[in-house]
């Protein structure tokens, strides 16, 4: 199918973009890798697309001088995936990027687009919870944990643009694990789990709930990994669908939690 007719605007400043978004039924276009298929299937039919790809200064990965990173919202997945700085500071994020779609999609898709699209099976939203990211917009700074309100539903207002992702430093000696199960390489996760172990254990489930989810009961049971893996199964509320039943996804969450925690514990110990 082809999309319904829309107007197209490519502003060159954030102020101009925000003003355009004030119009009824406008939608931001970033890499287009999620939005364009939705337009083609007519799941969305905005009257105006505001392409933020020509606004300068939204594509960067920078040291925040405190050991963390600042990432511009228009930074392409491929840039994130190949950044040495990011691999050194946040190896768990680097590992998770290998599971995001295919190269052609990673060349166009942006970190901001993935976070704002809010697919519960996407890796990046879950990683932001795991890494306690702060999301900076044209209006405010929001904790990643407060950003997701439902499947494909975020706290963003209609005229609010995500501009930057702030990743606080991981404490020295933090170990990590990331485990994903998908039917084919490049597909969305059937389920994935990320974990970090340092001063505290953090565990996030992806594709097993209507939003990415911190598994706090499981975290509290660490270092008993078997107990944490059992608790993880009960914390998520996955859907049944063509690709797998809810019970199967719960089972996967439990198995992947065990594996992610074992890797994280091993990394922390070494």
Ligand X SMILES: Cc1cc2nc3c(=O)[nH]c(=O)nc-3n(C[C@H](O)[C@H](O)[C@H](O)COP(=O)(O)OP(=O)(O)OC[C@H]3O[C@@H](n4cnc5c(N)ncnc54)[C@H](O)[C@@H]3O)c2cc1C
- Distance of closest approach, residue 58 Cβ to ligand X, in angstroms: 7
- Among 122, 128, 133, 231, indicate the residue that binds ligand X (CB under 6 A): 122
Given the complex with ligand X, which of 34 and 191 has the nearer CB atom?
34
- How far are the Cα atoms of 40, 123, 168, 201, 225 from residue 171, in angstroms, in the given order? 44, 22, 9, 12, 21
Location of structure tokens 């990394």: 267
Q: Residues with Cβ < 8 Å from 50, sequence gap 6 or more? A: 9, 11, 17, 20, 21, 26, 27, 28, 29
Given the complex with ligand X, which of 73 and 203 has the nearer CB atom?
73
Q: Find the binding residues for ligand X in span 237-256 (CB under 6 A).
A: none
- Among 17, 20, 26, 30, indicate the residue that binds ligand X (CB under 6 A): 30
- Annotate 75-106 with b (16+ C-beta within 10 A) or e (fewer): bbbbbbbebeebeebbbbbbbbbebbbeeeeb
Given the complex with ligand X, which of 34 and 257 has the nearer CB atom?
34
* Cα end-to-end span (Å), the chain: 53
Q: Point out which span in 61-69, 101-109, 168-176, 238-246 binds ligand X (CB under 6 A).
A: 101-109
32 binds ligand X (CB under 6 A): yes
34 binds ligand X (CB under 6 A): yes
The residues of the shown chain that bind ligand X, judged by CB under 6 A, are: 27-35, 37, 52, 73, 100-101, 105, 109-110, 112-114, 116-117, 122-124, 156, 161-162, 187-188
């Amino acid at each position: 199918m082809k999309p319904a007719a829309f107007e197209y605007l490519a502003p060159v400043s954030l102020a101009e973009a925000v003003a355009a978004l004030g119009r009824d039924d406008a939608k931001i276009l970033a890499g287009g890798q999620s939005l364009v298929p939705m337009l083609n299937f007519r799941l969305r039919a905005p009257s105006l697309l505001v392409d933020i790809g020509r606004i300068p200064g939204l594509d960067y990965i920078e040291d925040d001088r405190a050991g963390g990173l600042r990432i511009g919202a228009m930074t392409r997945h491929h840039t994130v995936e190949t950044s040495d700085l990011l691999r050194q500071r946040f190896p768990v994020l680097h590992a998770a990027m290998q599971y995001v779609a295919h190269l052609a999609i990673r060349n166009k898709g942006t970190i901001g687009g993935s976070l704002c699209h809010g697919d519960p099976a996407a890796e990046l939203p879950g990683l932001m919870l795991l890494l306690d990211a702060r999301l900076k917009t044209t209006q405010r700074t929001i904790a990643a944990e407060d950003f997701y309100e439902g499947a494909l539903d975020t706290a963003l207002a209609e005229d609010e643009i995500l501009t930057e992702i702030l990743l606080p430093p991981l404490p020295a000696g933090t170990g990590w694990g990331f485990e994903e199960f998908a039917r084919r390489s490049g597909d969305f996760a059937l389920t994935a789990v990320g974990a970090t172990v340092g001063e505290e254990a953090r565990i996030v489930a992806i594709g097993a709930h209507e939003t990415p989810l911190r598994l706090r009961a499981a975290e509290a049971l660490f270092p008993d990994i078997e107990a944490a893996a059992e608790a993880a199964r009960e914390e998520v509320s996955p859907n049944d669908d063509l690709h797998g039943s809810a019970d199967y996804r719960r089972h996967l969450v439990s198995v992947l939690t065990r594996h992610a925690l074992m890797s994280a514990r091993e990394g922390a110990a070494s």
